[in-house]
Structure 1
Amino acid sequence: MALCRSHHAASQSYGTQVDIRHTAPEAPDREKFASLMLRIGIIGSGFGSYGLMPAFRTVKGCTVTALCGSKREQMMRYFKTIGFTNLYADWKMMLEHEKLDAIAIAVTPDAQYEIAKAAIAKGIHVFAEKPLAATLSQAKELVSLAKKKKITHGIDFLFPEIAEWKTVKEMLQKRTLGKLLHLSVQWDFLSYDIKHKHSSWKTASKEGGGALAFYFSHGLHYLEHFAGSIKKIKCLFTHSKESPNGAEIGADLLLSFKNGITGTAHVCCNSPGLTRHQLIFYCENGVIVLENGEGIVDGFTVVVHTADGTQTIRVKKDKDRKNEGERVKIVRKLAERFVDACGTKKQMTPSFHEGLRVQELIEMCHRSPLPAE
């Protein structure tokens, strides 16, 4: 049975379903206290359960009241350990029966579009996964609907939230090494789907998959985060029979920014034995190298090269919590911002607007291919 927020919290008092990190007042103020909590539903049994769920359930000011997804064995084991039982198999049923203030989504781009539309129509705030949608028109529609209904929206562009990335951003803003002239990206790894020959939307271009839309949607966002608005893109796509559904396994971009900065970017999700995520910032008086050699958000270093030598910049690391995946601590930062924005009825960044911008850049890449010869 679907429970209201206060009854649901009370029914779970014996477990650890929601770490609300508040001291609830004594009755008769308990009901008033509960009404201040943002009620969130999670949709998605993959990253929704092992990424969004642990991130949101430890954020002050919100409580995760329900999750919708297929009952995967790993997911069910996790929910058993935290005492969470309010599960749905149908997101429409969840939206109908739960009194939700917000939802966080981690599903396919097409499904996300449909779910977000339905939630927005009900006045429910939405935290989305990237890419925002499968097509540019879908992304535009979501932005328009969100504006019309005046809901708060966010999107999971997580890399700029990493401590080392924030350090580099600050150095560029302060022009520590002078003006940024050129930015180069090298991102190589072997994706799960290609390694295991797993057929899914992630290797189907028309469904929002492929090296560009699925993986480098992050890159298109952080390129503008560091260097400003992109003016022109030329793109060369690489294909391989190793991609189960034929989507590109690589993309190489030539970039020019409106402020005169130039850039190159390379991404490949079929690189057996080679894992690296490297950004090189060529400035007037030196070079900044931001990179890691394993993991997704962990292990980044910041190294500065100048005429006087090389220096590794010490950065206070983002801290993991026990039994959490490495991305959770970063998603939690965005989740906190989203919950705060919902509570103050303001907008957060990154939002659907950044998601739409990335969708525009994806279209630019497809409209401006470099010849393969």
Structure 2
Amino acid sequence: RVGIVGIGYGQSVLVPAFRLSSVAQITALAASTEERARAVADRLDIPLAFGNWNALFDQVDAVAVAVPPSLQPEIVEAALARGLPVFCEKPLAITVGRAERMVAAATAAGVATCVDFMFQTIPAWVEARRLLEQGEIGPLRHIAVQWEVETFSNQHKKSSWKTDPSQGGGTLFNFGPHVFHYLEWLFGPILALSARLTKAPNDPRQGETLVTMAVEFKNGLTGSVSICTSAYLGQGHRLAVFGDEGSLVLHNPTNDYAKGFALWRAGRGDLALTPVAVDGSWEEWQQDGRILATAALAGRFLEDIATRQRRAPQLADGLCVQRLLDGAERSHRTGQMIVL
């Protein structure tokens, strides 16, 4: 029995993702009021609805949380104190200190946890990692990330928690956790970084819409990161990896953050990048690609509950990302490269 806390991402992604599992039943939903929860629960055929997440805990065996980072720590820590396995969103919190408390609570509870870092489940990314591990393009030289999209909030110049840094909004906290996580998943720990957080001159909202970073990994590899969430007709999401013997490129030009990635390769002597065949492509999936990506993590989470395994990405992995976010904020404030 799984309970969902939050009815935004919770209803659009978490409910259908967990329902793709044969072992999970979504039995309860919690929102800021019982009325809001009941309206969504009735539409999605979920039996129980609560305006208090503590009451939901009494009725479930595991919890999935999808609320702003400013609200998530209290809910996660309370669920862990009750001994409930927790699936939660990125980033864990607004501050490193609060994220550390969440990890301490998870350690004390000894239950399964998972953070929704979805890129490690996407077939094209899995294949790219396999090729890199077998040295397909030789020793690595540099990497470059470009993520250019126009979010709904920025298209319509709307204000919400996603544009308010005090609640965990802004481009760094909304998109940066995914980038930091997949960079370390592919290339190892980040040693140092510098960052600049900016927005359009005529944008009165507080949250940044452009993040530019330089990163250095412990293995000596360096790279650049640019994330823009106010890019009309931006090129989408692209990761380029340059090695002594060639290049690998992951590129998704679509509006679906998970579906639409193609993998391209060029070896030394090739005149152009050529597509790489990827097993298990999601292109036939007609719904939001985030559902499939999250379903893969949810399946792993549910299996960990049953088998008592503890596989990444756990809350401890979320804490590593939180420290990188903090480093980026400190670099922006001080104008200095931050050694982590």
Give your verdict on TM over 0.5: yes
Give the TM-score normalised by structure 2: 0.91
Is the CA contact (8 Å cut-off) linking 1:194 and 1:243 kept in structure 2? no
Residue 368 of structure 1 aligns to a residue whose secondary structure is helix
Supply the AA of the counterpart residue of 1:318.
Answer: W
1:367 CA drift (Å): 1.8
Letter in 1 for 2:157: K
Aligned to 1:114: 74
Aligned residue for 2:290? 327
Q: Is the 8 A contact 1:203 1:243 kept in 2?
A: no
1:297 to 1:242, Cα distance in 2 relative to 1, 3 A:
farther
Mapped to 2, the partners of 1:140 and 1:362 lie a distance apart of 14
The offset of 1:67, in angstroms, is 1.0
1:203 and 1:247 in contact (8 A); partners too: yes
User: If the length of structure 1 is used for normalisation, what is the TM-score?
Assistant: 0.83
Q: What SS does the aligned partner of 2:313 have? A: coil
1:349 aligned to 2:312?
A: yes
1:108-149 residue CA offsets vs partner (Å, 9 max, x unmatched): 112111100110110011001011111111100000111011
Structure 1, unmatched stretches of 5+, are 1-38
* Residues 199, 244 of structure 1: 8 Å contact kept: no
Cα contact 1:237–1:251 (8 A) shared by 2: yes
Matched with 2:230 is 270
Between the two proteins, the alignment pairs up a number of residues equal to 331
- 1:303-322 mapped onto 2 (5 Å cutoff): 303-306=264-267, 307-309=269-271, 310-316=273-279, 317-318=281-282
2:165 corresponds to: 205
Residue 71 and residue 57 in structure 1: after superposition, are their counterparts in 2 closer, same or farther (change >3 A)? farther
Stretches of structure 2 that go unaligned for 5 or more consecutive residues are none
Task: Look up the SS of the partner of 1:273 in the other structure.
Answer: coil
> How far does residue 273 in structure 1 lie from its aligned partner after superposition?
2.1
Q: What one-letter code is carried by the residue in structure 2 that aligns with 1:155?
A: V
Mapped to 2, the partners of 1:159 and 1:206 lie a distance apart of 26
Q: Is the 2:35–2:51 contact (alpha carbons within 8 Å) kept by the matching residues of 1?
A: no
- Local SS of the residue matching 1:123: coil
**Pair 1:274–1:321, CA change in 2 (3 A):** closer
Distance 1:299 1:156, change over 3 A: same
Deviation at 1:244, TM superposition (A): 5.6
Query: Partner of 1:178 in structure 2?
Result: 138
Change (3 A) 1:282 1:59: same
After TM superposition, the structure 1 stretch with the greater mean CA deviation from structure 2, 85-94 or 43-52, is 85-94
In structure 2, what is the equivalent of residue 235 of structure 1? 195
Checking the alignment, whether the CA contact within 8 Å between 1:180 and 1:261 is kept in structure 2 is: yes
Check 1:274–1:76 CA distance in 2 against 1; reply closer, same or farther (3 A cut): farther
Alignment partner of 1:365 is 2:293: no
Equivalence for 1:69? 31
Where 1:130 maps in the other structure, the secondary structure is coil
The residue number in structure 2 matching 1:302 is: 263
